[in-house]
Structure 1
Amino acid sequence: MSAGDRRRRMSTITDVAREAGVSVATVSRALRGLDRVSPRTRERVLRVAEELDYVASPTATSLASGRTQVVGVVAPFLTRWFFATLVSAIEKTLRQHGHHVLLFDLEDDTYDKRLPLSQNMLWKRVDGVITLNLPMTDAELELVDRLGLPLVAIGTPVADRPNVRIDDAEVMRIATEHLISLGHERIAYVGAVPTNVAHIQTPQARLDAFRETMRNHGLEEHKQWILSSAWTADSAAEDTRELLASPERPTAVAAASDEMAIGVMAAARDQGLRVPEDLSVIGIDDHVHANVLGLTTVRQDVAAQGRIAAEILLRQLGVVGPEPAEQGTSRARTEVIVPTDLVTRRSTAAPG
């Protein structure tokens, strides 16, 4: 059979082995970059594979190596900007090393519940797991351990696993301090959630920090100004409408996320209030629309968190080597706190 005839049909690993004069096992090891193959043999196998337009089957490679080259990314929501940005950064980082993402959206019909992570989702489908702001139950942790899957958590920590996050208390302290520095004393908060919400840690940490900062400055906390929300722009607009229509309204609102801050700004506009002349609004995140809306916010680098988490997992899988030592200290940390910073725009000013 001529080389042209071989190209007209899909070449197999057997074709490559025959043409190169080696065994199928040697071809497999050479193409996967494994040891026990001489440089001369590897070069010959790669040349023949290229001549025959041979493309290794991902399924066959998986069976041979025991690896799927797929990472499971588990999220409580996938429709939110924050989670979508994380997934995009994780996928791009993994793709550079021949790995890809399998998404698990655990969102249920109600905000305060989520679906469980099951064996059918993970077994023989992924090499590792990245969780996005998601507490794991004991049963889920036992499952991950039983399957021998490395896990990296973004946001909400998972016991004894690497964690990449921001300091949620610090970002809300920065946001509240900014409003106070402008002269605001009558400050409301939006973003409280029921205690049974599956991803409670971030909302609770930010609410606690708001309350503590107000106390530290001797400012009164109005309980009716601590507003619950489902952490979307629509819900925040609805949740703050009554408060902003009241004659006893605050002069500023600290929102626990930019999406909620955008909802507050919409509710203020509907009430005929000017931002920031009548009401200052600050958020957290630096949402993709924050700049065009002039929203003051505490910026977190969401994409960096996804990229760092993916790199940590790739190191755990042995796909990439450990990071070089920095000033004699290993950088293979189990906890990475990503820095944040205040971004001042048009939505905050001194009280009118």
Structure 2
Amino acid sequence: MAKVKLQDVARSAGVSISTVSRVINNPDMVHRQTRESVEAAIRELGFLPKAGASKLHPGSGETGSGSVEHGCNGTSPVVALVSPVNDSDFYFDLQISLQENLLAINHYPLLIHTDGELSLLHFLEKDSAWLDAVDAVVVLSCEIEDRAMEILKKRGVPVACVHRRNRSVFSVLNNDYLGGYDAAQYLWSRGHRRFGLVSWDAFGSDRKGDRVTGFTNYLMENGVEIPESQRIASDLSIAGGRKAMAELSRGELPDAVFFTSDTMAIGGLQFCRDEGITVPDTLAIMGFDDIRMASVMGLTTMKQFIAAKTRLVVDELDACLKTGSGELDQREVTITPELVRRISA
């Protein structure tokens, strides 16, 4: 009989791979009905979680703590994916890509959510027990302070960072400034001269700022400044995008709106559809990220090369774990976004 994989459980339960992983590792973070569905699939398929995961008690639907064995003891290496959010489309795609790359080389992904905490140090001060279960750490967007690095180094746990600038570790990030600049250049080339700008209002302000600065700098170089009334900050969500588009529609509509997130842009597209605003004839809409839903919605966007980023990180970690060096090279890899033209702009 073929070995049952995480993907098989996800398919049987009708959920994502990350949801199955959360049920195994952090069951209290999963809705009861979803958790029970995944646990039933695990029992039905006879799936055996790898070392480092919580063990399911057959037939009980309850979870308990399992003993942990590290990759150095002959089992698959366990790699923690530390993320501040679990309800963002972009971060969902990023986590899925990391999981797929890790599973492809027989490394086990362990999802750790910081519940919005952007400081790795503060999170470790509240909860560091999970470090005993891992062989390496990938940090998604959180700040990695010097003290946090000391804690990880003392434990001999190599760490990499994705989607945030951090020169003290191996990090892979986006050239968000150039992405914003190129987005403005594209919309300008399409003949648009009156612009709206929508960004999120809290999380990840460094990336948001670079995208906004790149976009507005290109326009200023061409003698255009976006009025404050056409600059909207909202929640990093589809609902936030709808709300921002509603605000913009109260006055004279711009020619084009640049959303610094695809998720928000999708909300803007939905608002325009519901209100009878034709896109792109009346209003062009452009996003940033190229999440999976962007192609479905026909959204023009700036593509972040998620698969390339995650492959780089996983390859570096794999090489580090194989050599046993315990630390990755301190270098920064920057990837430039690329225009993906669809029907919205």
**TM-score normalized by structure 1?**
0.71
Give the alignment's Cα RMSD to 1 decimal.
2.9
Q: 2:143 aligned with 1:135, yes or no?
A: yes
Alignment-mate amino acid for residue 334 of structure 1: R
Conserved? CA contact 1:94–1:100, under 8 Å: yes
**Runs in 1 of length 4+ with deviation above 3 angstroms?**
57-68, 111-115
**Counterpart in 2 of 1:149?**
157
Over residues 94-138 of structure 1, what are the superposed CA-to-partner deviations in whole Å (9 max), with x where a residue is unaligned? 223332111111124xx9999723453443211111011222244
Q: Distance in 1 between matches of 2:188 and 2:147?
A: 44
**Counterpart in 1 of 2:299?**
295
SS in 1 for 2:296: coil
Structure 1: where are the runs of 5+ without partners?
A: 1-56, 322-331
SS in 2 for 1:203: helix
Q: 2:59 aligned with 1:62, yes or no?
A: no
The verdict on how the C-alpha distance between 1:64 and 1:141 changes in structure 2, with shifts beyond 3 A counting, is closer
**Counterpart in 2 of 1:225?**
230
The verdict on how the C-alpha distance between 1:245 and 1:219 changes in structure 2, with shifts beyond 3 A counting, is same
Alignment-mate amino acid for residue 85 of structure 1: D
The verdict on how the C-alpha distance between 1:62 and 1:107 changes in structure 2, with shifts beyond 3 A counting, is closer
Q: Distance in 1 between matches of 2:170 and 2:258?
A: 31
The verdict on how the C-alpha distance between 1:131 and 1:63 changes in structure 2, with shifts beyond 3 A counting, is closer
Q: Distance in 1 between matches of 2:108 and 2:264?
A: 32
Q: 2:335 aligned with 1:338, yes or no?
A: yes
Q: Distance in 1 between matches of 2:181 and 2:124?
A: 34
Conserved? CA contact 2:99–2:109, under 8 Å: yes
The verdict on how the C-alpha distance between 1:210 and 1:60 changes in structure 2, with shifts beyond 3 A counting, is closer
Q: Distance in 1 between matches of 2:72 and 2:187?
A: 59
Structure 2: where are the runs of 5+ without partners?
A: 1-49, 52-66
Conserved? CA contact 1:133–1:156, under 8 Å: yes
**Counterpart in 2 of 1:117?**
124
SS in 2 for 1:116: helix
1:223 is displaced (CA, Å) by 1.2
**Counterpart in 2 of 1:282?**
286
The verdict on how the C-alpha distance between 1:208 and 1:131 changes in structure 2, with shifts beyond 3 A counting, is same
1:188 is displaced (CA, Å) by 0.9
Conserved? CA contact 1:151–1:161, under 8 Å: yes
Greater per-residue helix proportion: 2
The verdict on how the C-alpha distance between 1:136 and 1:66 changes in structure 2, with shifts beyond 3 A counting, is farther
Q: Distance in 2 between matches of 1:63 and 1:178?
A: 48
Q: 2:86 aligned with 1:82, yes or no?
A: no
SS in 1 for 2:164: coil
**Counterpart in 1 of 2:9?**
none
1:93 is displaced (CA, Å) by 2.2
Q: Distance in 1 between matches of 2:68 and 2:245?
A: 56
Conserved? CA contact 2:70–2:78, under 8 Å: no
Q: Distance in 2 between matches of 1:137 and 1:336?
A: 19
SS in 2 for 1:152: strand
Alignment-mate amino acid for residue 160 of structure 1: S
Q: Distance in 1 between matches of 2:221 and 2:72?
A: 61
Q: 2:198 aligned with 1:190, yes or no?
A: yes
Identity of aligned residues (%): 26
Deviates more, 1:170-179 or 1:141-150: 141-150
Q: 2:260 aligned with 1:252, yes or no?
A: no
Over residues 169-204 of structure 1, what are the superposed CA-to-partner deviations in whole Å (9 max), with x where a residue is unaligned? 11111111111111111101101424xx4x322111
Q: 2:262 aligned with 1:261, yes or no?
A: no
Q: Distance in 1 between matches of 2:201 and 2:158?
A: 31
Alignment-mate amino acid for residue 293 of structure 2: H
SS in 1 for 2:295: coil
Conserved? CA contact 1:265–1:281, under 8 Å: yes
Over residues 207-237 of structure 1, what are the superposed CA-to-partner deviations in whole Å (9 max), with x where a residue is unaligned? 1112211111110221121111222111111
Aligned length: 277
1:304 is displaced (CA, Å) by 2.1
Deviates more, 1:171-180 or 1:268-277: 268-277
Alignment-mate amino acid for residue 207 of structure 1: V
